[in-house]
Amino acid sequence: TRMAETVMDHLPALSVPVVLAGGGYQVIIGSSLITRAGGLLGAVLPQRRAVIVTDKTVAGLHLQTLLTGLETAGFTTETIVVEPGELSKSIETWASVIDQLLDLAVERRTAVIALGGGVVGDLAGFAAAATMRGLPFVQVPTTLLSQVDSSVGGKTGINTRQGKNLIGAFYQPHMVLADTDTLGTLPPRELRAGYAEIVKTGLIGDAAFYDWCEENGSGVVSGNRALQAQAIQVACAFKARVVGDDEREEKPNDGRALLNLGHTFGHALEAEVGYGAGLLHGEAVAIGLGLAFGLSAKLGHCAPDLAPRIRRHLDSVGLPSEIAMLNRRFSVEKLVGHMRKDKKMRDGALHFVLARGIGQAFTSRDVPPEAVVELLREAGC
Ligand code: NAD
Ligand code: MG
């Protein structure tokens, strides 16, 4: 058949099952998936009608390919376009997306397809979750970060003036299509930022994969599609396993919380620099990964040579690896203040993901503040 020939033309797609209590779904990873979206989604969606939510930048690059891919398989399509950037994760934009969905007279079986990075995925997912109490949802992530992180796990949501992701829902997609072709148009800096979350995966729970990263990371960030697909598959499989064990982040210690390795430091740096003011989330996490291993060594949990080894790898792929590389002064008190307010912290104590070695992360709820202060001073704050 024509479909089979189309599939044969390309590298075989990889797929990762996400297994959850209420059912599950597949994350498909590979080339030309957007072109083949109609065939792939036709099998899992209840109706051949879809509303695509995307941002202006991604619309200019990949929307037509997706529309054609859907329409050739008999889908009726409509499109909602939002402004690119974190500011679109607002109540106003969310309300406007829902308003447009209702104006289009969507039915309960009409699918919402998020085409874009984590911003579009979080926004469209939360709009899908709320509209008519839940429309079928599909993620087509187009940034490396969204392919390895935000599109898997079902967290959707928006920001308020009080903070990031404070309103939202757990809402699982019917399918995730991570098309590596879309990475070809992604700015290299965004690609590297997404790579930091991939390295994080190895550091949390897979030492062999971290070794793989040291060997192949430069290929991933320089655009080798096969290596990218492999890295995405491993990172998604890892996240899927963690999420499958702790769908709603209810385990205090070894569930989804582990995914925050490097993030307590990272969020504090992002908060100090100001969101959208030049430090990408993945860059902040990269610096946070070195600091988390530095703190682990300081507390006697791991060998002292791991943090420098990790920093060397991050440097080698062009990620910032140290606070000093950000060329600005940070106040230790302000950074620690942000850490105490981290949303994931229940009681104002300093809660970190630490490690006993590469691939051996664990959570610690009571890190002595003096150790954190000393580490930040040594880092030049
Ligand atoms: P993003 O969605 O803002 O995308 C980054 C930029 O790249 C945007 O300007 C976008 O227009 C552009 N872009 C996207 N795809 C492109 C492509 N293929 N070619 C060229 N340009 C492209 O940012 P992101 O890093 O993908 O996601 C960040 C968001 O994800 C944050 O809001 C964060 O809170 C959220 N997030 C959510 C989860 C979750 O579990 N839901 C996890 C991690 C992060
Ligand atoms: Mg992150």
How many angstroms is it from 150 CA to the middle of ligand 1? 8
Q: What is the pLDDT of residues 321-364, one digit of tens each?
A: 999 999 899 999 999 999 988 665 556 678 899 999 999 999 99
Please report the atom of ligand 1 found closest to the CA of residue 155: 41
How many angstroms is it from 194 CA to the middle of ligand 2? 9
H helix intervals, 104-206? 118-130, 144-145, 188-205
For ligand 1, atom 44: residue with the closest CA: 150
For ligand 1, atom 22: residue with the closest CA: 186
Q: What is the pLDDT of residues 216-228, one digit of tens each?
A: 999 999 999 999 9
Q: What is the pLDDT of residues 30-87, one digit of tens each?
A: 999 999 999 999 999 999 999 999 999 999 999 999 999 999 999 999 999 999 999 9
How many angstroms is it from 165 CA to the middle of ligand 1? 14
Q: What is the Cα–Cα distance from 194 to 357, expressed in whole angstroms?
A: 23
How many angstroms is it from 266 CA to the middle of ligand 1? 17
Residue 347: predicted pLDDT: 67
Please report the atom of ligand 1 found closest to the CA of residue 62: 18
Tokens of 100: 């447009």
Q: What is the Cα–Cα distance from 381 to 377, expressed in whole angstroms?
A: 5
Q: What is the Cα–Cα distance from 145 to 134, expressed in whole angstroms?
A: 25
Q: What is the pLDDT of residues 119-178, one digit of tens each?
A: 999 999 999 999 999 999 999 999 999 999 999 999 999 999 988 899 999 999 999 999
Q: What are the binding residues for NAD(+)? A: 118-122, 142-143, 155, 164, 182-185
Residues 226/29, Cβ–Cβ less than 8 Å: no
**Nearest ligand by distance to the CA of 183:** 1
* Ligand 1 contact, 243 CB (< 6 A): no
How many angstroms is it from 55 CA to the middle of ligand 1? 10
Residue 226: predicted pLDDT: 95
Catalytic residue numbers read 133, 155, 197, 239, 249, 256, 260, 263, 267, 281
Q: What are the binding residues? A: 118-122, 142-143, 155, 164, 182-185, 197, 263, 281
CA angle 72, 75, 80 (to 5 degrees): 115
Given a cut of 80, whether residue 236 has pLDDT beyond it is: yes
* Ligand 1 contact, 57 CB (< 6 A): yes
Residue 75: closest CA among 86, 83, 67: 67
* Ligand 1 contact, 155 CB (< 6 A): yes
* Ligand 1 contact, 116 CB (< 6 A): yes
For ligand 1, atom 26: residue with the closest CA: 117
Tokens of 201: 């995966």
* Ligand 1 contact, 260 CB (< 6 A): no
Strand runs (DSSP E) across the chain, as ranges? 14-20, 23-30, 49-55, 76-82, 111-116, 137-141, 155-160, 163-170, 175-179, 352-355, 361-364
* 0.90 surpassed by complex ipTM: yes
* Ligand 1 contact, 145 CB (< 6 A): yes
Q: What is the Cα–Cα distance from 330 to 159, expressed in whole angstroms?
A: 25
Q: What are the binding residues for Zn(2+)? A: 197, 263, 281
Average pLDDT over every residue of 237-263: 90
Band of residue 5 on the pLDDT scale cut at 50, 70, 90: very low
How many angstroms is it from 352 CA to the middle of ligand 1? 25
Residues 168/118, Cβ–Cβ less than 8 Å: no
For ligand 1, atom 19: residue with the closest CA: 186
